[in-house]
Copies of this chain bind each other. A is one copy, B any other.
Amino acid sequence: MSPAGETIGLIAGSGRFPFLVAQEARRLGQRVFAVGLAGVTDGALAGAVDELQVFKLGQVSAPLAALQRAGVRRAVLAGKVQHVSVFGGILPDLRAVRILAGLKDRRTDTILAAVVEEFRKEGIEIISSATHLAHLLAVPGCMSRRAPTREESSDIEFGWRAAKALAGVDIGQSVVVRDRTVVAAEAMEGTDAALIRAGELVRSRAGSGKTALVLVKVAKPRQDFRFDLPVLGLDTLKTMEAAGATAVAMEAGKTLLFDKEAFLQTADRMGLAVVGVEDGRSGAGGAPRDAGRST
């Protein structure tokens, strides 16, 4: 938790993540100075923070100076910025050029780590993106009313190893499993597209409405909490329903549920099993917790 009265920096990508951070920071009495990216950050964020300044992707000096002027000492990275090198078309400033020139590769995590280091040198520490959102982290065990069936548990356990291997080589962080077979593996298209593909594939082959898919989403083996924690939200539940997925497993303590209460209520209404898994523990898809829901 951050002290009240502090001006916290919020470097905002797309989606709901920056809004939730801003909301919680202000609830804690912090002032929120946000830096947005043109074409990426939702403009509505201006209404949820104390100040929003928008910069072009590729600029480092200008937003850094703005954060310093606002008195920011600690900042959070929140929300997605699509993988830059694939899109091209950005105009890096001199500082960004210098950072890029010093990189061993152009992986997102490599770029972010270099940017974080640059900020640190200028007196701004990038802190865990879960700092304000600990209450939204998945907990270990069954979080839904319905526990996974034996088949679902077995698919979760199988999918866990597969997803960890995928994440370990930076391909993606989700797999969609049925009957101990990976039907779809996520790369750049995202979790929802992988779910839809898996649903179509199984329906087209099985010729039946029941697809009985299981979604498994993991953190990277060396997940840096400052960058891009895995996130699941209501959209994913809707996609799961459309694809015919009946259970979802995620990494406890390393996955954010947006918004957790509504997420679990909706999952219960849909009859889905929602499981938090601690990596390295056996019984990945185990029985529901005796203690029941922890929210």
Q: What is the interface of chain A, defined by CB distance below 8 A to chain B?
A: 82-83, 85-89, 105-107, 161-162, 165-166, 168-172, 175-176, 178-189, 197-198, 201-202, 205-208
Contact = CB atoms under 8 A, between A and B. Distances in A.
A159 to B, nearest CB: 10
A206 B83 contact: no
B179 A85 contact: yes
Contacts of A88: 206, 208
Contacts of A171: 162, 165-166, 175, 182, 185
A137 to B, nearest CB: 27
A198 B187 CA distance: 9
**Nearest 6 A-B pairs (CB), nearest first?**
A165-B169, A185-B187, A185-B185, A171-B182, A85-B179, A162-B169
A245 to B, nearest CB: 14
Contacts of A107: 180-181
Contacts of A168: 165
Contacts of A85: 179-181
Given A86-B205, A169-B162, A206-B87, A184 B187 contact: yes
Copies of this chain present: 2
Given A86-B205, A184-B189, 11 more contacts: A85-B179, A86-B179, A89-B206, A105-B180, A162-B170, A165-B166, A171-B175, A171-B182, A172-B182, A188-B198, A189-B201
Contacts of A166: 165-166, 169, 171, 185
A165 B107 CA distance: 18
Contacts of A82: 205
A208 to B, nearest CB: 8
B186 A185 contact: yes
A201 B190 CA distance: 11
A187 to B, nearest CB: 4
A105 B177 CA distance: 15
Contacts of A178: 86
A175 B187 contact: yes
B165 A161 contact: no
Contacts of A205: 82, 86-87
